[in-house]
Amino acid sequence: MFVRRRHRRVRGGTRKLNSLEWEALCDGYRSVGVVKGGIAYVTGNFGRPGTIGTDSPRAALPLHLSALREVLGDDGTLVVPTHSWSLRGSGIPFDITMTASETGPFTELVRSQSGSHRQFHAFASVSAVGPRANEICESSTRHAYGPGSPWDVLCAENATFVSVAQPVAETISAVHHAEFLAGVPYRYTREIPHPCRFDDGTVRSELFYLQVLFSGVDFERDRNQRFLSTYDELHGARSARLGHSYVHSVELGRFLGVVLPMLQSDPYSWLRQPPVTRPWTGWL
């Protein structure tokens, strides 16, 4: 059971945390739909909310983690992106327990927690802590998105997608899950072999898959504005104060329920307009 303490260890020693700041931090996450026993996928820019009563934004990261785990409770699960894109083409082995997250220091903090689980994907993994962490991360596919991926579980369970100090439109990677399911024509599957290090110390090449954009195409992206505008009209995206910034959220099941039909009706609805150059058009 997580126990709230007024004193928390931060860089430079132990200092007293202002109880009002602590309650405001927890209430910020509660206000955007993080609930006890739920699943929260959290991403964003954790520097913008500020120090939250500590020496620096980085020193405040454990407070964000503590607040999220308190709000989620013992039965809740926290999920974060732990991508490692720099490994592509590097020849450096992916190690599921040792390869650091490149998606910000908060995600690395979550990944390194005792009892954390990580998806086996060399480039686009997620990590989670909580009772459903293994279920979410034990992907049955080497694709980053699609059936059997963590996003399949997150959307099926209507997990709360939380974006700290960045608009959801800038961070909502669930769009790519919807694109995968809709079979949009402007992406294709790329197979990428990459060395991986296993628990017994052996290193061997494994195959991973990514849905990538065709090159040389005049893509004019909508930046998810149409999707988020429609979602907001139907369900209402949430926002709340968090330190010196804001936190935003959508529900992933509902988001998929909005975006997937839009992509099925108009495969180019992720774009401002269909591209003129379409290398995927025509007979084989």
Parent domain of 229: 9-265
Q: Tell me if 3 is assigned to some domain.
A: no
Count of domains forming the chain? 1
Q: Tell me if 148 is assigned to some domain.
A: yes
User: For residue 7, is pLDDT > 60?
Assistant: no
State percent of the chain over pLDDT 90.
90
Residue range 163-190, pLDDT digits in tens: 999 999 999 999 999 999 999 999 999 9
Whole-model pTM? 0.93
User: For residue 10, is pLDDT > 50?
Assistant: no
What average pLDDT does range 104-128 have in this prediction? Answer: 98
User: For residue 150, is pLDDT > 90?
Assistant: yes
Q: Tell me if 273 is assigned to some domain.
A: no
User: For residue 116, is pLDDT > 60?
Assistant: yes
User: For residue 159, is pLDDT > 80?
Assistant: yes
- Phi first, then psi: give them for residue 34, nearest 5 degrees: -75, 125
pLDDT at 284: 78
User: For residue 269, is pLDDT > 50?
Assistant: yes
**pLDDT band per the 50, 70, 90 thresholds, residue 16:** low
Q: Tell me if 1 is assigned to some domain.
A: no
Residue range 44-77, pLDDT digits in tens: 999 999 999 888 999 999 999 999 999 999 999 9
Residue 212 CA to its chain's centroid (Å): 18
Q: Tell me if 22 is assigned to some domain.
A: yes
What average pLDDT does range 246-255 have in this prediction? Answer: 98
Q: Tell me if 140 is assigned to some domain.
A: yes
Q: Tell me if 278 is assigned to some domain.
A: no
Tokens of 54: 């500590």
User: For residue 250, is pLDDT > 50?
Assistant: yes
Q: Tell me if 254 is assigned to some domain.
A: yes
**Contact 127/154 with Cβ under 8 angstroms?**
no
Tokens of 252: 């992933």
Residue range 192-237, pLDDT digits in tens: 999 999 999 999 999 999 999 999 999 999 999 999 999 999 999 9
